[in-house]
Chains A and B, each alone.
Chain A
Amino acid sequence: MSGSPRHFTTQLAVIGSGIAGFAASIFAINRKIVTAQVGNTGAVAYTTGYLDLIGKLGGTTDPVTDPWQALTRLRETEPKHPLCRVAADDIQRAFTEFTDFLGTCGLAYSSPGACNITALTPVGTLKQTLCVPATMAAGPRALAANAPCVIVDFKGLKGFSGAEVVANLRDRWPQLTTQRIVFPGMDRGEVYPEVMARALEVPATREKLAVALNDVAGSAEVIGLPAILGMHRPDHVLAELERLTGREIFEIPTMPPSVPGIRLRELFQQVLPQRGVTLIPQQRVTALSFADDGATLALSDSYGPIRVHAQAVILATGRFLSGGLEAHPAGIREHLLDLPVTQPADRSDWYRERYTDPRGHPIHRAGIEVDDSFRPLTREGRRHHERLFAAGVILAHQDWIRGRSGAGIAIATAFRAVTEAEHFLLS
């Protein structure tokens, strides 16, 4: 048996398989850069499917309805925020390019508009987001119009309750009601959104569900469902279910494990290799080294060791959950290159006294420093290497959860990192 490494050579290696990593690969292949992407599964499967730019500004509780105006404000109040290193036009272009790509893959999104969209959360609260999947678009419209609508949930489904959604929206949406039904063929035990979504790829299941939905919909013009409208062809499943029921239908994200995140992950894993990306998913890079003529990534899969030789590298390894940052008793470390991490001076400063403090917690702003070309910096403030770029929420000076800006930071910084990497490769 041979334990010899398998070698791949590429122009650009993207490390990380979250939104930032996949966005970087999309931007790269659109620019005809030969790309390899590696990295373990990341947190993409936890996403709601909404693509936020800015939903809240630091220290405030008011939702942001105009993210572009909020961006201007952010430049004044938080100039080190990663989004402040990206021009508004570039952010607009990045979102458009990213959502266009998804649309060509059967997962249509609304285009980034002038204002945020008021969207529904799994528990029936509201949030501001920039782009929503087509399968969810009718929800905000029906809410705005106070249309007669029934939220249908399913026996055995955990993590989504129609009653809870209605209870939280009753004052704002008087014509909202709820019903519970049995999903066709799943009348016993716990049922999972993922399983229902895959079952709805089968025409016979759609037909049975349409009958069950019409049985309880009454006079409702619109039906809201937990996000289960297919995994691989959601736009098609939505259209077919609307045709069969004769009603408008929308999805609401569910608590993890939720379909929209799995949908995105499987779409990326399916489509990117077809578009020429060498994708080695679910494997963590264990070493990254640089030489004058390129970089080398070391990793292993089930079969054995792998080496990826690249001219440039984008680090998009995320934060704690995805393994880009590690919390140790002595402090926070960047695991791959031991890049310096901007962080609170002492562990006791990581969190504020009150968990719900609107200012957030200092640890959530920890991350690596980059210059305007999105190259990570050393402790001395020099570039770690000309061939290294970084993108996504591993970057310091942002609290993406509190700012409702995770996708925005991922997509916008990936766009800039790829642009800079392209300049480097062309030079």
Chain B
Amino acid sequence: MPEIRTGNELMTESAVASINFKEAALKLLPEGANFEACLTCGLCSSGCPASGIENMDPRKFIRMAMLGMDEELSSTPWIWCCTLCKRCQYVCPMSIDVSQLVYLARGNWPEDKKPSGIVRSCQLTRSSDSTSAMGMPPADFVSVVGEVLEEVRATQPAFSRLQAPIDKRGAHFFVNQNSREPMSEPEEMVPLWKIFDVVGADWTYASKGWAAENFCMFSGNEDAWREVIRKRVDAVNELGCEVWLNTECGHSYYSMWHGIERFGLQANFRLESIVTWYAQWIREGKLPIDSRWNTNGIKFTVQDPCMIVRKAYGDAIAEDMRFVVRTLVGEENFVDMQPNRSANYCCGGGGGFLQAGMTDHRRTYGKRKFDQIAATGAAYVLTPCHNCHSQMHDIGHFYGGHYGVVHLWTLICLSLGILGKNERIYLGPDLRG
């Protein structure tokens, strides 16, 4: 039996039981949709950065499903290289959604054969009430937030009364937090706190369900995905917040938004994105940013995260992001990536690819993103997504790029003149001060 290398694992084809993709596909599709409507035109494959990896592409996947090649589809490691970004569906004249079949195939793999990084992240997410994919327990999170807050108050006089509330009942915003910051770079939490301070937001973190990431969804483990989302929904309901505010993290929004609908959960709150609120606060004059700091005409581009643009809000949030960025860097210093908005390419960090251990494949996928960025000539890429951030950072180094990748919160605080010296780790020497 041939061996298939997936990340740092070795698995055999016989390890995965076959499923009937055609039958499953017919059950999955909404009324009127039909995988057999595929014209085999290849727009999906042409527009997919994963095409060719593991000798597979979206068109081939569909054709093999229609031909009943279930054993091959049940065992191809390509399903862990597809980032579930749905660009294939977006460009398909028949709106055929390959990602549904890929998700199905992921769920069919035995847990011990799935890429261990994704499985481990899911296990850690379920290991405590934090729902943190890095396994940070509630007490540690509370402690880190407290320590960082204390340090800011002590070292930055302008913020001697800065707040970072936890478990504040009735706060307007329940703010989620990607675990990377409290675990690895806690100073990166501070710019967002400062922004909340400037606009006078009524917000809170929570000790339970505070984390953003959700690799259970990417593992194809439906029960685990539901469990994580339920825990987060319960946490928000318990505090009585009006809005679950997703910060700069792409898949956290999608997994929560889609999960609530998918699993029929009772959410007594609205789900909103920080990007929309940045735009609103600027329009209301509460966030008085401008581009006067950019005296050297540094060029910026933006990365539209699939999970909040193409897969959720659509182009409306992409427009909000551009409004924020143009205001921040100056109209003449903004260069859009092509294609963009809902047509944008996934960076290659989504779908759990960053955690899957398939580094060569991930970088092959990311070459198209690298070309997109290189074509802009921009010195920095701004993106409100941690996976995008990490992937673009990595492919930039790997392919010899000379751009930086920055969160929006960093530039907002830079523009406001309130960015601390230790909050500039993603800025280059030109902006590090």
Contacts and interface: CB of A to CB of B under 8 A. Distances in A.
B91 A198 contact: no
Contacts, number: 100
Interface string A236-271: 000000000000000000001100001000100110
A425 B326 CA distance: 35
Contact of A303 (B46, B55, B313): B313
A375 to B, nearest CB: 28
Nearest to A189: B52
Contact of B93 (A190, A270, A322): A322
A30 B105 CA distance: 49
Given A303-B312, A303-B314, A195 B368 contact: yes
Interface in A89-114: none
B340 A1 contact: no
A221 interface: no
Interface of A is mostly: loop
Interface stretch (A37-45, A77-85, A145-153, A408-416): A37-45
Contacts of B342: 281-282
25 contacts: A1-B260, A1-B270, A41-B91, A45-B91, A190-B52, A192-B45, A195-B368, A198-B372, A201-B371, A201-B375, A204-B374, A256-B42, A262-B43, A262-B46, A266-B338, A270-B338, A270-B339, A279-B315, A280-B314, A282-B90, A302-B310, A302-B311, A302-B312, A303-B313, A303-B316
Given A199-B371, A303-B312, A303-B313, A266 B41 contact: no
Given A192-B45, A266-B338, A301-B314, A2 B93 contact: no
B92 interface: yes
Interface string B339-373: 11111000000000000000000000001100110
Contact of A270 (B43, B47, B310, B340): B340
B421 to A, nearest CB: 35
Interface in B23-78: 39, 41-43, 45-47, 51-52, 55, 57
Interface in A37-73: 40-43, 45-46
B271 interface: yes
B419 interface: no
A190 B51 contact: yes
Nearest to A156: B52
B95 interface: yes
Contacts of B315: 273, 279
B238 interface: no
A216 interface: no
A231 B47 CA distance: 12
Given A189-B52, A192-B46, A282-B342, A40 B95 contact: yes
Interface residues of B, number: 43
A194 B374 contact: no
Contacts of B46: 192-195, 257, 262
Contacts of A199: 371
A46 B371 CA distance: 24
A7 B366 CA distance: 37
A276 to B, nearest CB: 13
Contacts of B339: 231-232, 266, 270
Interface of B: 39, 41-43, 45-47, 51-52, 55, 57, 90-93, 95, 257, 260-261, 267, 270-271, 310-316, 319, 336, 338-343, 367-368, 371-372, 374-375
Contacts of B336: 270
Contact of B42 (A185, A257, A284, A302): A257
Contacts of B41: 46, 256-257
A266 B91 CA distance: 10
A273 to B, nearest CB: 7
Contacts of A321: 39, 93
Contacts of B93: 40-43, 45-46, 321-322
A401 interface: no
A1 B338 contact: no
Given A232-B338, A282-B90, 16 more contacts: A1-B270, A41-B91, A41-B92, A188-B52, A192-B45, A192-B46, A193-B46, A195-B46, A195-B368, A198-B371, A205-B371, A256-B41, A256-B42, A257-B43, A262-B43, A273-B319
Contacts of B261: 1
A279 B314 CA distance: 11
Interface in A185-212: 185, 188-190, 192-195, 198-199, 201-202, 204-205
Contacts of B374: 202, 204
8 interchain residue pairs of minimum CB distance: A201-B375, A232-B338, A257-B46, A192-B46, A194-B46, A189-B52, A257-B43, A257-B42
Contacts of B267: 1
A231 B371 CA distance: 12
A46 B46 CA distance: 13
Contacts of A231: 338-339
Nearest to A185: B367
B260 A192 contact: no
A36 B341 CA distance: 18
Q: How many residues of A sit at the interface, in one of the four size bands?
A: 35 or more
Interface string A394-417: 000000000000000000000000
A173 to B, nearest CB: 29
A322 B39 CA distance: 12
Contacts of A303: 312-314, 316
Nearest to B341: A269
Contacts of A46: 41, 93
A2 B267 CA distance: 10
A1 B259 CA distance: 12
A373 B312 CA distance: 40
A280 B314 CA distance: 9
Contact of B371 (A42, A189, A202, A280): A202
A282 B45 CA distance: 18
Interface string A18-47: 000000000000000000000011110110
B343 A266 contact: yes
A201 B261 CA distance: 40
A135 B134 CA distance: 52
Given A199-B371, A202-B371, A302-B314, A192 B51 contact: yes
A269 to B, nearest CB: 6
B343 A269 contact: yes
A360 to B, nearest CB: 21
A196 to B, nearest CB: 10
A286 to B, nearest CB: 9
Contacts of A202: 371, 374-375
A226 B339 CA distance: 21
A46 B41 CA distance: 9
A232 B374 CA distance: 14
Nearest to A322: B93
A202 B403 CA distance: 15
A301 B90 CA distance: 11
A306 to B, nearest CB: 9
A194 B340 CA distance: 15
Nearest to B339: A266
A257 B92 CA distance: 11
Contacts of A188: 52
Contacts of B316: 303
A284 B32 CA distance: 12
Contacts of A198: 338, 368, 371-372, 375
Nearest to A192: B46
A282 B95 contact: yes
A256 B39 CA distance: 11
A194 B52 contact: no
Contacts of A40: 93, 95
